[in-house]
Structure 1
Amino acid sequence: MTSLLRSPAISLMRRRCWMLALLPLLIALIFLFAASDPAPMVSRDETISPTSIAEARRLLVSNDPRRLRRGDERTVVIPSALIDTAINHFASRSLGGRGTFVLSDDTAEIQLTIRAPGIPGPRYCNLRAVFQEAEGEPHIVAASMGSLPIPSALAEWLIASAISIAGFSEEWKIARQAIRRLAFEPARDSVELTYVWEPHLLDRARSMAFTPQDLVHMHAAQKALAGLLDHYAARARVPLSQILAPLLAPASDQTLSANRAALLVLASYLAEKNLAMLLPEAKGWPRARRVKLTLLGREDSAQHFGISAALAAWAGEPAANAIGVYKEIDDSRGGSGFSFADLAADRAGTRFGELVVDDYPRLYKVLRGSVTDADLLPSLAGLPEYLSEAEFKRRFSDLNIYAQQTDEIERRLAMLPLYR
């Protein structure tokens, strides 16, 4: 009799406990809905321009950390368009959203748009933060999420907390200590950054880019590549397909980290760069014998394919495409000339790198079969090559004519079963 009387009370208590447990989630969803908007504040694609690649390269060359000593003070002028591209690339790759950077008199504004999770219908989290220039790091003077203002102190605390949760608090601390001055220059459409070089910054950057597991996989990939090429005579011509398949497909359950590591090791080899320049740990790793890897009989096609595949796997398709076009523009100004054949190899490599990231099970089945170079890259016949800058401008300054060539490349790629 007593148990029958208690049963409804227990059930009621359990329901109340469930309601209390779900209350924070319900409040969060209500807040998220109230702070979200039906339209995105930032609406753009992921495209990276070749100009941004050129600017980034110029900054890296002029601030090569290998030529800096501890305590060196440097001032660098960064175009706002490059910062804008970097923020949008980060938002696209890390947050699945879009971002932008806007300069005004003595402030700079970062805007981010992210699709609101868990809310029916198209709803967007539109975030904005306004920074004011100052000695040292800039400070937030205004922030908002949708129509809801966020106190500056709370916004800075949220950013610091997010960095700490992501495991980058030490790197953030070192970077903040290195910054001496940040000035916004709207007249020059740039940001002027004065910093003091600290070698730990480079070590921390490596630790952010490569996890300990990545290093293990790169070591294994380097050993595998050395073992594969040891069977060939020095300087022998070897089809890339004969190396790519066994290097990339030793197991059906190979992890993304292992696949990306294999592509990076291969790209370093194709570019004839010592991996130890990027990773000091690689100094004692096995050295692969130098052979001539080719794709459809061409060494340059193998290089373009392999390097673009690694870029796509590590940095994404927009970065790989932009770097490929930038390289051809640069070649037209004094190198081997602009080549649509090279662009085709770039695009094939980019598509291959995307498969490694997005659809490895299907790629694994292909690689375990009888793979030839023709499965990786379509025919290059008829694609214009060796164009000087003047000749390129004369023939392809009309964007429609240029698009006809790039469309033809995409059509040929679509004919290959691997890229359908």
Structure 2
Amino acid sequence: MLTVLVVAIFDTQPSVESLAPFDTAEIREIEQIIADNSPAYGQQSESDLSLDSDSLNLLTNFALQQIQTLKGSAIRFTIDEDTANTRLAIPQSLGPVDFYLNIRARFAQQDGRAQLQSLHFGQLPVPLIVQRSVEKLAGFRLQAASPASQELASLRTNIKDYQLRNDRLYLKVQWEPETLEQIRTYSQQMLVPPEGQQRIVEYVRQINLITSSLEGQRRISLVTLLPELFAFAAQRSHDDAAQENRALLQAMSLFVTDTPLTQALSSSVSVETPTLPAIRTSLYRREDLSQHFINSAAMAASTNPDVAEVLANSKEVYDARLRSGFSFSDLAANLAGVRLGEIAVHNQDSALWLQSYMQTLTEESQLLPRPRTDADGLSESDFAESFIDRNSPVYQQRLQEIETMIDALPLYQEAPERQPQE
């Protein structure tokens, strides 16, 4: 009976072929979709999101590739009028044998919204009552997990309506102030396992210890903190320096954004949580550059450099439209932070090298080239007038100049070569 069930569920071939790596144009499109559908800054607003099959496939496949346990999976949506069919192929292995869990789902417009009509695991149909039970259990477990998971669940509930019509999926989203920033923060924190959370607590304590000697100072340079923190990480890096670096950057991300430590801890972590000190950090006397740099480093170390860049760049596009304006200075801090995050966790040698280098920091220019401010605070129309769009040669030239300046810094130039990890 078990053999029959396995044969019915698993296949030797995927129902959807894996996609090629995302090219620059596709990454830009993902960033634009996120920015186009983000809320007006500081306002509660309702947004109507409309996706055709191509956009939906682009977003969902990009998301799949950032989840370690789903690497190599592929999903394909086809929308026909008010019906959508979905195929998901998840690779599995048992010793030398490779096989696939192929999932099929059908959605249709019913009672005023898109609803799941059928679900198959391989050739095995899933009864409707089981489908509903799985949906409820998944929602309950998400909300009962860590505070970060609960916040992500609350963001999910902001989707007020799903509809299928005219070959498109329509979503009505209730955005709250700072939703985009929340997504960046919680997507990073969601991936912190319990042992990593214990490490974060230790680094928050160390931040408190270092800053306790700085009474009366309201703002400090990152260079004041990072050497001592990385020296602390080096003392603890007996087996896994990358894990220590990741926890350090995650703790710093909480610190620079003034986010309570409890936001990163699950209920399984029972410790006395220290309060983060009320001191601001800066790079070149700018708090925003410090936040961009550390947040991007923490995101790259926690998830994937592609995710870090997409979310950071999406925010720049969003700022150009609705907030403070597009900033090449912010973009430079994002890019440098992503590079630091990559080096921090690539492998043991790279992580140990970074710990040693960071203890020698004396100047902010070792982390980030002094930013040019001639193209900061650009509105969307000003940006278009000067740079056309983010695929234009003039924009790509400016971006290349920034990347060249970052690459020239010893921190990024001399780091051990980043080879793919086995």
TM over 0.5: yes
1:36–1:116 Cα contact (<8 Å) kept: no
Deviations 1:354-411, CA, capped at 9 Å, x for gaps: 2333335313223224432344323435873333333211111151211112222222
Distance 1:206 1:390, change over 3 A: closer
Residue by residue, what CA displacement relative to the aligned partner does 1:234-283 show, whole Å, maximum 9, x if unpaired?
Answer: 33654324423433424223465554333222122222344456669899
2:251 equivalent in structure 1: 265
Residue of 194, 198, 205 corresponding to 1:216:
198
- Compared CA separation, residues 222 and 365, structure 1 to 2 (3 A): same
- Cα deviation, residue 179, structure 1: 12
1:19 corresponds to which residue?
A: none
What is the match of residue 105 of structure 1?
A: 81
| Letter of the 1:402 counterpart | Y
Alpha-carbon distance in structure 2 between the residues aligned to 1:315 and 1:220: 21
The separation in 1 between residues aligned to 2:136 and 2:243, in whole angstroms, is: 23
Q: Equivalent residue for 1:58?
A: 39
* Amino acid in structure 1 at the alignment position of 2:395: Y
1:261 match: secondary structure: helix
Alignment-derived partner of residue 178 in structure 2:
none
Q: Deviations over 1:214-248 (max 9, x none)?
A: 43223222111111222224336543244234334
Q: Given that residues 41 and 112 in structure 1 are in contact (C-alpha distance below 8 angstroms), is that contact kept between their aligned partners in structure 2?
A: no
- Structure 1 distance, partners of 2:200, 2:338, is 20
Q: Deviation per CA, 1:94-115, whole angstroms, max 9, x where unpaired? A: 2113434443333323344556
SS in 2 for 1:418: coil
Between 1:338-347 and 1:297-306, the stretch displaced more is 297-306
1:138·1:182 contact (CA, 8 Å) conserved in 2?
A: no
- Is 1:412 the counterpart of 2:405? The answer is yes
Q: Give the distance between the partners of 1:237 and 1:188, measured in 2 at CA.
A: 53
3-state secondary structure, aligned to 1:58: coil
* Separation in structure 2 between the aligned mates of residue 117 and residue 383 of structure 1, nearest angstrom: 54
Equivalent residue in structure 2 for 1:49, among 22, 26, 30: 30
Equivalent residue in structure 2 for 1:153, among 126, 138, 142: 126
RMSD, aligned α-carbons? 5.0
Residues 381/419 of structure 1: CA separation in 2 closer, same or farther (3 Å cut): farther
Q: In structure 2, what is the Cα distance between the partners aligned to 1:184 and 1:79?
A: 10
For residues 366 and 190 of structure 1, the distance between their equivalents in structure 2, rounded to whole angstroms, comes to: 45
Query: The residue matched to 2:105 in structure 1 has which SS?
Result: strand
Q: TM-score, normalised by structure 1?
A: 0.66
Summarize the Cα distance change of 1:99–1:242 in structure 2 as closer, same or farther, 3 Å threshold: farther
Aligned residue pair count: 367
Alpha carbons of structure 1 residues 380 and 173: separation in structure 2 relative to 1, 3 Å: closer
1:378 equivalent to 2:369? Answer yes
Q: TM-score, normalised by structure 2?
A: 0.66
Counting aligned pairs with the same residue, the percent is: 22
**In 1: Cα distance, 2:406 partner to 2:11 partner:** 43
Partner of 2:316: 328
Q: CA deviation at 1:311?
A: 2.0
Secondary structure of 2:210's partner? helix
Pair 1:172–1:349, CA change in 2 (3 A): closer
1:313-324 correspondence to structure 2 within 5 Å: 313-324=301-312
- What is the DSSP-based 3-state SS (H/G/I as helix, E as strand, rest coil) of the residue aligned with 1:272? coil
Q: Does 1:232 align with 2:209?
A: no
Q: By how many angstroms is 1:339 displaced?
A: 1.9
Is 1:129 aligned to residue 105 of structure 2?
A: yes
Matched residue type, 2:414: P
Is the contact made by 2:281 and 2:290 (CA closer than 8 Å) also made in structure 1? no
What does 1:149-298 align with in structure 2 at a 5 Å threshold?
150-153=123-126, 170-171=140-141, 183-187=162-166, 189-192=168-171, 210-235=192-217, 238-248=220-230, 249-250=233-234, 251-252=236-237, 253-254=239-240, 258-276=244-262, 285-294=274-283, 296=284, 298=286
Aligned residues of 2:188 and 2:303 also touching (Cα < 8 A): no
Q: Are the aligned partners of 2:188 and 2:298 in contact in 1 as well (CA < 8 Å)? A: no
Alignment map for 1:59-98 (pairs within 5 Å): 79-80=50-51, 84=57, 87-94=60-67, 95-96=70-71, 97-98=73-74
For 1:206 and 1:353, locate their aligned partners in 2 and report how far apart those are by CA, in whole Å.
Answer: 12
Greater share of helix = 1
1, 11, 17: which is aligned to 1:40? 17
Distance 1:180 1:386 in 2: 31
**Equivalent-residue separation in structure 1 for 2:329 and 2:300 (angstroms):** 19
The 3-state SS of whatever aligns with 1:141 is: strand
2:127 equivalent to 1:141: no
- SS for the counterpart of 2:213 is coil
Paired residue for 2:386? 395
Using the TM superposition, give the Cα deviation of residue 308 of structure 1 relative to its aligned residue in structure 2, in angstroms. 0.9
Asked if structure 2 preserves the Cα contact closer than 8 Å seen for 1:307 and 1:349, the reply is yes
Q: Secondary structure in 2 aligned to 1:413? A: helix
Moved more, 357-366 or 77-86: 77-86
Distance 1:106 1:335, change over 3 A: closer
Q: CA–CA distance in 1 between the matches of 2:36 and 2:405?
A: 32
- Shifted more, 368-377 versus 155-164: the winner is 155-164
SS at 2:66's partner residue?
Answer: helix
Query: Hey, what does 1:68 align to over in structure 2?
Result: none
* Secondary structure of 1:231 counterpart: helix
Query: 2:406 is aligned with what amino acid?
Result: L
Residues 342-363 of structure 1: per-residue CA shift (max 9 Å, x gap)? 2111011112222333335313
Structure 2 SS opposite 1:131: strand
Q: CA 1:173/1:374 → structure 2, altered by over 3 Å: closer, same or farther?
A: closer
The answer as to whether partners of 1:312 and 1:353 remain within 8 angstroms in 2 is: yes
Deviation sequence 1:97-141 (CA, Å, 0-9, x none) = 343444333332334455675899x99887543334557994353
CA contact (8 A) 1:260 1:313 kept: yes
Contact 1:102–1:108, Cα closer than 8 Å, also in 2: yes
Secondary structure of 2:325's partner?
A: coil
